[in-house]
Structure 1
């Protein structure tokens, strides 16, 4: 009987220690941005207004985190209606046929204190390719309003639009091949 109790207690402790926690994005305190260089001389910034993201982790330092996000491409905004309309067209996002941009992580590795490399699959304009982003875990704090734990993250990285056949009609002298992505996220721990 004592052995059965020890086995049950061990199983319970193992299950509790390895329990996954889901963190959901607080959109009021988060953003998804991108930057591309125009005519080799000027950076143009844009944002996505509609997106969702989550992080799942068992470890409190997020060293085992699984990151995923989905962006609604029709929500692209560069503060210029004409340019935004062109970005939504088949020349770029083709929002009528390819309404989402997605990322699902497949691995994470620690590079220094609170800094990680996150690898995964990025789907842009219907093309899926491996991508790697830097993830900075900025800390966890109890939100004084909700009394829930909130964690802060910043995800940054650069992709090549040519890898995704994105905007292929426009050479790098018009628009840089490199597109920088930066997302700041505040995530609430699921209750």
Structure 2
């Protein structure tokens, strides 16, 4: 038994501790915006008003970082009540059946001093698919409004709804959906 404890102590001593700080997304300062072509005439912009999640940030080794995030599909906002209801409905987001869109990262690849590609599983319409987003760490420091440690990010990317088998009005409404997220996370208080 003493030998097993000694081996366990050696293994634990040789394992580097993960220097991850947990940042909870601030829903009042996180914006999830998307864009899609409509009939070739205009690009329609929309957003999700209810988003949240957690970023585990390793500032020294960003490749060890991860994120889990979600939006409530019923919170979609396109600037017109009838369109909001239509897009949240059965033929588009189907919010009743699919109340959340979720993203869980599976890898981070550093691309610059403050940039990275974050790959993960995006669950949309009840199906998970691999996607990659470009991420910029805008700032890490004290939020002047809250006096709390904060991390701000800009996330961009494009998904294709056809990858999920979504074909509603495919000849009229674009399959490619541009995504931009401005995310603010506050350092979680130690419990």
Partner residue in 2 for 1:181: 179
The CA deviation string for residues 65-90 of structure 1, in whole angstroms up to 9 with x for no partner, is 10111110000010111111111111
Contact 1:55 1:65 in 2 (8 A): yes
| 1:145 shift after superposition | 4.1
- Structure 1 gaps of 5+ residues are none
Partner residue in 2 for 1:149: 149
May I ask how many residue pairs the two structures share in their alignment? 181
In the alignment, the residues of structure 2 paired with residue 177 and residue 26 of structure 1 have an alpha-carbon distance, to the nearest angstrom, of 30
The CA deviation string for residues 10-65 of structure 1, in whole angstroms up to 9 with x for no partner, is 939943xx242110112222211100011113110001011112110233463421
Contact 1:66 1:106 in 2 (8 A): yes
- Structure 2 gaps of 5+ residues are 1-5
In the alignment, the residues of structure 2 paired with residue 151 and residue 51 of structure 1 have an alpha-carbon distance, to the nearest angstrom, of 16
- Could you state the TM-score of these two structures normalised by the residue count of structure 2? 0.87
Q: Please tell me the root mean square deviation across aligned C-alpha atoms, in Å.
A: 2.1
- Could you state the TM-score of these two structures normalised by the residue count of structure 1? 0.87
Determine if the alignment matches structure 1 residue 126 to structure 2 residue 137: no
Partner residue in 1 for 2:3: none
